[in-house]
Amino acid sequence: MSALRKMLNLPPKEPKGGDEGNTAVADASVETPLPEAGEGRTSTRAPAALGWAEEEESSGRSAARKAGRVAIWLVIGLAAFTGVRTWVFPTKAPAPVEQTDPQAEAKKNNVPEAEAQQVAARFARSYMNWNAQDPDSRAKELEADLAKGIDPKLGWNGAGVQLVAQTIPGPVTQVGGKRARVRVDVRVSTVTGSGNKQQTATSWRGLEVPVAQGNGRVVVTGEPAMVGMPTAAGYTAPDGPEADSQLSGLTRDTVKDFLKSWAAGSEDQAAAPGADIQPLGSGLTLDSLDSWVVDAGSGDKRLGTATVRWKLGGAQIQQTYQITLTKVSASSASRWQVEAVTAKTA
């Protein structure tokens, strides 16, 4: 224990009862006069005669003792900081927490949009079609998309005549729990009166159809509801580019000749080489080129705007096009030709 006390730099142990004799023995290393036969001198008893001798501590042993003392204090400090219990019974690392995506979880309860639009559009066509002379046909068509147990009349009193020309499915509003509402725009023709007084009125109707994902497919869950149609919204077109008056005058006849050929089905003869312009179809003729303006710019490709008046179905209809011109060179001559025709974007 004396070595451990030295390493920890502890004070020497105090003598207890019965140790006085040992202290006296230690003191015996002091010079004690001993009589010698025939002589009056003194001599010193060596400590080795008592069984031990002090030795001076070497520098190596001193450094080792200091290092050991530091190591022991480190171990004691670590035990106090972490707790001895964790050395004997180490705690297990917590299981990693799985990160969840709230949006992905919510989508699991959504109705498939494409299927919902398809079912709602088909259902809306049958729902808005009715004929008092044939009520059973409507009921059979509706039953194909209705959830089982719902009356296929869906509030119709069995009177009147209405025909559907077109249905356009729109946005799907998810409401959770695999349920949704589908907006459908329906073009209907309503017949009123009879005989010479019979009239047909055509209009658009907005319809919202409630749907849900059932056993393996999307079904309609109840009566749809008619809703309002969108109203007109304001729009201010950006300022157009400046005009190139000179090039507009030089290419006006080129554009007019192309439009005549396009209406006649011979657009390939008037268009630039390699141009891919689809034919307009029969029954259309050019009445007039009301205006032609080339945008200011440079290069061998230029954009222009043409206001055209067509004859179609016994009427005249005015339309606006954006026409792309390209400069075509052959030998030493060059000319402008039409490369593309699209609708004008305001």
Percent above pLDDT 90 for the chain: 59
Over 60: is that where the pLDDT of 305 sits? Answer: yes
Over 60: is that where the pLDDT of 26 sits? Answer: no
* Predicted local confidence at residue 294, as pLDDT: 97
Token pair for 224? 């749809």
Over 60: is that where the pLDDT of 137 sits? Answer: yes
For residue 200, which of 171, 163, 167 has the smallest C-alpha distance? 163
For residue 123, which of 152, 151, 149, 162 has the smallest C-alpha distance? 152
Least confident stretch, 29-33, 63-67, 162-166, 193-197:
29-33
Over 50: is that where the pLDDT of 29 sits? Answer: no
Q: How far apart are CA 341 and CA 322, in angstroms?
A: 6
> Cβ-count burial of 174 within 10 angstroms (0-12 exposed, 13-18 middle, 19+ buried)?
middle
Over 90: is that where the pLDDT of 287 sits? Answer: yes
Q: How far apart are CA 338 and CA 254, in angstroms?
A: 8
Interval 203-244: pLDDT, tens: 999 999 999 998 889 999 999 999 999 999 999 988 888 999
* Predicted local confidence at residue 331, as pLDDT: 79
> For residues 141 and 86, which has the higher predicted lDDT (pLDDT)?
141
Q: By the 8 A CB rule, do 130 and 161 touch?
A: yes
Q: How far apart are CA 134 and CA 289, in angstroms?
A: 51
| DSSP-derived pairing of the beta strands 285-294 and 333-343 | unpaired
Residue by residue, DSSP assigns 271-322 as BPTT-------TT-EEEEEEEEEEBS--SSEEEEEEEEEEEETTEEEEEEEE
Interval 319-336: pLDDT, tens: 999 999 999 988 778 999
SS3 90: coil
Give the Cα-Cα-Cα angle 118, 124, 126 (nearest 5 degrees): 110
Is this structure's pTM higher than 0.85? no
* Mean pLDDT of the chain, nearest integer: 83
CA-based radius of gyration for the chain: 53
> For residues 192 and 289, which has the higher predicted lDDT (pLDDT)?
289
Interval 54-63: pLDDT, tens: 555 566 667 7
Structure letter (DSSP) for residue 146: B
Q: By the 8 A CB rule, do 120 and 184 touch?
A: yes
Q: How far apart are CA 229 and CA 207, in angstroms?
A: 9
Token pair for 154? 């869906």
